[in-house]
Amino acid sequence: MRGSVGHRSVDSMTVPQITLDDGVQIPQLGFGTWQIPPAEARDRVAEALEVGYRHIDTAQMYGNEAGVGEAIAASGLARDEVFVTTKLNNNRHAPEQVGPALDASLERLGLEQVDLFLIHWPLPMIEIDYVDTWRAMTEVLADGRARAIGVSNFQPTHLRRIIDATGVVPAVNQIEVHPYFAQDDLREFGASLSIATEAWSPLAQGQVFDDERLAVIAERVGRSVSQVVLRWAIQRGDIVFPKASSVPRIAENFALFDFELSDEDMAAISALDEGRRIGAHPDEMDWVPAD
């Protein structure tokens, strides 16, 4: 069943796996590469792999797929040891562009297959219908270029349309989730359809670090604010992939599995939700980069 959490261990080097419907397993903790410049991507990803991350999240829009691929190739890890996600760029939504766009990503990554391929934004305001884009996504799943397919920033209306039209349910929905924007309704809607939730910007783009309420919890449990917030997301069952630019912070964000938050601490963090969105609203996002 999608969204089922695998073995949980107190060993900080053991990352639980989320098992998707088709048997594909994704590490619940990954390393995010948003805003990591192409020139730095190889080093940052190499550092993350050295720490122990085995799930790397990138996107065509980020422009750093080549560096991600170089780091994976240089790591010496077997292909099946690293879970790789990339996302379709907003200027490649035409159905005939989806396959070639993924092929270009595979070339940059130096891979024959990605583990997860996502539509980055639904873009309901552009002329191309995201339902047609989703149909093309199912084709790259069928031919094996992606082990699993999903979406990012999709709302319930968007999800209903693509599922009703194709009968294919996304493996995951990658959405903005953090203590100030918990998105419980959307997460629960996805769970009702067996769609796993991936949380982007789980640290609210750094805003959590100045929150004294989180600092109190962190001091009590003897952890950093970052670790507390990421642990909250893990215990809620979300998949998270924080970004960090230094080895100590990369390692800190990985050390989440040798402690647990109490029910009271979980409730206190969840109570911070104020519906504060940091990123664009999916119904209003219409940015399409020039070719």
pLDDT at residue 192, rounded to an integer: 97
Pairing of strands 31-32, 25-27: unpaired
pLDDT at residue 253, rounded to an integer: 97
pLDDT at residue 1, rounded to an integer: 29
Instruction: Identify the structural domains of the chain with CATH numbers, from first to last.
Output: 4-270 (3.20.20.100)
**CA dist 79 to 185, 189, 236, 252, Å?**
36, 33, 29, 25
117-119-120 Cα angle (round to 5):
110
Residues designated as active site: 62
Ranges of residues in the chain with a pLDDT under 50 are: 1-12
pLDDT at residue 287, rounded to an integer: 95
As a whole number of angstroms, the distance between CA 96 and CA 85 comes to 21
The torsion of the CA quartet 30, 35, 37, 41, rounded to 10 degrees, works out to 0
pLDDT at residue 13, rounded to an integer: 59
pLDDT at residue 14, rounded to an integer: 85
pLDDT at residue 87, rounded to an integer: 98
Pairing of strands 4-5, 17-19: antiparallel
According to DSSP, the residues that pair with 148 across neighbouring strands are 116
Residues in the chain: 291
Nearest to 154 by CA among 126, 176, 184: 176
Identify the DSSP state of 20.
Answer: P
pLDDT, tens digit, for every residue of 204-255? 999 999 999 999 999 999 999 999 999 999 999 999 999 999 999 999 999 9
Q: Are 224 and 255 in contact (CB under 8 A)?
A: no
Whole-model pTM? 0.95
Find tokens 């209003």 and name the residue. Answer: 284
At residue 259, φ and ψ (nearest 5 deg) are -155, 160
194-11-232 Cα angle (round to 5):
50
Structure tokens at 278: 């940091």
pLDDT at residue 23, rounded to an integer: 84
Q: Are 141 and 151 in contact (CB under 8 A)?
A: no
Helices in 149-246 by DSSP H: which ranges?
156-166, 184-192, 212-221, 225-236
pLDDT at residue 21, rounded to an integer: 77
Number of CB atoms found within 10 A of residue 273's CB: 15
| DSSP three-state, residue 89 | coil
